[in-house]
Amino acid sequence: MAFIGSPAASDTLHAAHGAKEDLFASLLHHVQDSHYLELFGMKIELPHLPSFVVGGITFDMSITKHVVFLWVAATLLILMAVIVARKNARRDVPHGFGNLVELMILFVRDEIIMPNMGPAGVKYLPYLLTTFFYILLMNLLGLIPYGASATGNVNVTAGLAIIAFVMIQAAAVRAQGWKHYLAHLTGGVHWILWPIMIPIEILGLFTKPFALCIRLFANMTGGHIVLVSLIGLIFIFKSYFIAIAPAGFVVAINFLELFVAVLQAYIFTMLTSLFMGLGMQAEGHEAAEGHGH
């Protein structure tokens, strides 16, 4: 029997603490990126590509789990678009899954693009639809067995945010022209204040996509960590009675995660269209103010 403070008791406590750390590390590994896939208890190693250095920064282009599920989501999106387009083309009134996809397309057009961008935003419908469905599929893939949510990787959400940043600026330049777009960076103040206003306005251009990146990443990662934490309680207490409550909470949170997967795709698309619409309508507001004066 080991007494408190004895070396044996200390070793036992350290072993228990180490076991808990190993448990949480193994559970959290399922929400992290890795160089292999887990499938039916097997570990499938993914190809390792040689890294290279550019400007002192090392780039590792090896294929990881999240990269695979990026490709899976893209493949599913292409297949879904082709199948639904062919089925709906053969029928006057869409049915089944084709009807569901058409309803979602009309929702994006009528409830997201038209209120935020107006009729001029319809030409950006392909980009926003691709963004919505791509993020939705990536989110849903993280809820299936052996799946992974690529949007739980900040590199993925950063890539989506960079594309959104380019589209936001392109829409503004296309609507306003380079002259009014650059003039807008001055904030409409006297030229003496330009050294203050121009850096602030440029910083504001980057804070929008940064918010898109972190919001999507945090929401998708947070839900999975909560699930992992609840499942970890079963292994910590090692009791069937304790397991009942976490198991029930896990089922409930899984349904909540299903809602969050759709909600986050909607929020990312809606905010992107809102930021694009603000840039497109800036010229119209300036023209209206000029006529008013």
Residue 84 scores a pLDDT above 70 = yes
What is the per-residue pLDDT for 288?
Answer: 44
Is residue 220 within 8 Å of 139, Cβ to Cβ? Answer: yes
Domain assignment of residue 215, yes or no: yes
Q: Could you please report the per-residue DSSP string of the chain?
A: -PPTTSHHHHHHHHHHHHHHHHHHHHHHGGGS--SEEEETTEEEEPPP---EEETTEEE-----HHHHHHHHHHHHHHHHHHHHHHHHHT-SS--HHHHHHHHHHHHIIIIIIHHHH-GGGGGGHHHHHHHHHHHHHHHHHTTSTT---GGGSHHHHHHHHHHHHHHHHHHHHHHHHHHHHHHHTTTT--GGGHHHHHHHHHHHHHHHHHHHHHHHHHHHHHHHHHHHHHHHHHHHH--HHHHHHHHHHHHHHHHHHHHHHHHHHHHHHHHHHHHHHHHHHHHHHHHHHHHH-
Residue 28: pLDDT band with limits 50, 70, 90: low
Please compute the mean of the pLDDT values over residues 47-55 and round it to a whole number.
82
Residue 1: pLDDT band with limits 50, 70, 90: very low
Which residue in this structure is represented by tokens 């602030």? 200
Domain assignment of residue 47, yes or no: yes
Domain assignment of residue 20, yes or no: no
Q: What is the percent of the chain where pLDDT is above 90? A: 38
Domain assignment of residue 183, yes or no: yes
Residue 286: pLDDT band with limits 50, 70, 90: very low
Residue 39: pLDDT band with limits 50, 70, 90: confident
Residue 24 scores a pLDDT above 70 = no
Residue 69: pLDDT band with limits 50, 70, 90: very high
pLDDT digits (tens, 9 = 90+) for 117-136: 999 999 999 999 999 999 99
Residue 6 scores a pLDDT above 60 = no
pTM of the model: 0.82
Q: Could you tell me which residue, 189 or 122, shows the higher pLDDT?
A: 122
Domain assignment of residue 63, yes or no: yes
How many residues can be counted in the chain? 293
Residues paired with residue 53 on neighbouring β-strands, in sequence order: 58
Residue 222: which of 137, 154, 146, 134 has the closest Cα? 154
Residue 57 scores a pLDDT above 50 = yes
Cα angle: 272, vertex 275, 281; to 5 degrees: 135
User: Which one-letter amino acid corresponds to residue 48?
Assistant: H
Backbone angles phi, psi at 59, to 5 degrees: -110, 120
Residue 215: which of 173, 275, 167, 172 has the closest Cα? 275
> What is the distance between the alpha carbons of residues 282 and 85, in angstroms, rounded to a whole number?
36
Domain assignment of residue 6, yes or no: no
Residue 237 scores a pLDDT above 80 = no
Residue 109 scores a pLDDT above 90 = yes
Query: Number of structural domains, the chain?
Result: 1
Q: Could you tell me which residue, 35 or 119, shows the higher pLDDT?
A: 119
Q: Taking the CA atoms of 111, 116, 119 and 120 in sequence, report the sign of the dihedral they define.
A: negative
Domain that holds residue 75: 33-292
